[in-house]
Copies of this chain bind each other. A is one copy, B any other.
Amino acid sequence: MGSKERRERDREHTRRKILDAAREMFVRLGYEATTMRAIAKEVEYTPTAIYHHFENKDALLTELSAVDFRALAEAFLRIGRVASPLERLGKICEAYVGFAHANPMQYQLMFMTRRPPDTALQTSLTRGDPSEDAYAFLRQTCAEAIASGLLRPEVNDPDAMAQMMWGAAHGIVSLQIVKHHDAWIEWRDARETARAGGEAMIRGLLRAPGD
């Protein structure tokens, strides 16, 4: 006995090896440029062996992305609940841009690539739970900011506000990921730009003083 467990462990082991190799190559070369054959060679298997562990190339990406989404949500969770919603919003922006800066390729796969509509991601991640879903965390913070009464009366929709804040941060980092080679633009540091942009946007949402 115990053999079944060992088999299962072995299977999990090679599965892990494939996943690790795929991650490394996706990050280094990009998704399109890494080949199933190259991944197989890296882990010293035949290309077809991968298909015994994953449905197809996209499934590799999907599984890796789920890990990254969770990592981002965890980075948000580390911000904690101590600060005021407005302070927290600034820290979320900072953490988000820091994540993108540290993992540009993962970021590209997570937020800059159109995926087929229904991947296994749906089932793998619990949506709406702020501990696993970064958007839910952001949205909740926006809702608290609105509830605090510090914001202008016309900003009363947590989703609209979350999408505004997310968009501002995402736009700044993603433009640089795509275009930072275009030397005809004098690019400023993305983290600094995002910080200033986030601050400006929050300030612009604030109820005018003495109102």
Contact = CB atoms under 8 A, between A and B. Distances in A.
Contact of A163 (B159, B164, B193): B193
A186 interface: yes
Nearest to A166: B175
A112 interface: yes
Contacts of A157: 188
B184 A168 contact: no
Contacts of A1: none
Contacts of A172: 163-164, 167-168, 171
A47 B168 CA distance: 43
A3 to B, nearest CB: 42
**Taking each of A166, A167, A173, which has the highest tally of chain B beta carbons within 10 Å of its own beta carbon?**
A167
A193 B164 contact: yes
A156 B171 CA distance: 21
A204 interface: yes
Interface in A166-211: 166-175, 177-179, 181, 184-188, 192-194, 196-197, 199-205, 208-209
Given A170-B171, A204-B199, A111 B178 contact: yes
A120 interface: no
Contacts of A185: 135, 159, 163
Contact of A168 (B167, B186, B187, B202): B167
A67 interface: no
Contacts of A113: 178
A112 B178 contact: yes
A114 interface: yes
Interface string A106-135: 001001111001000010000110000001
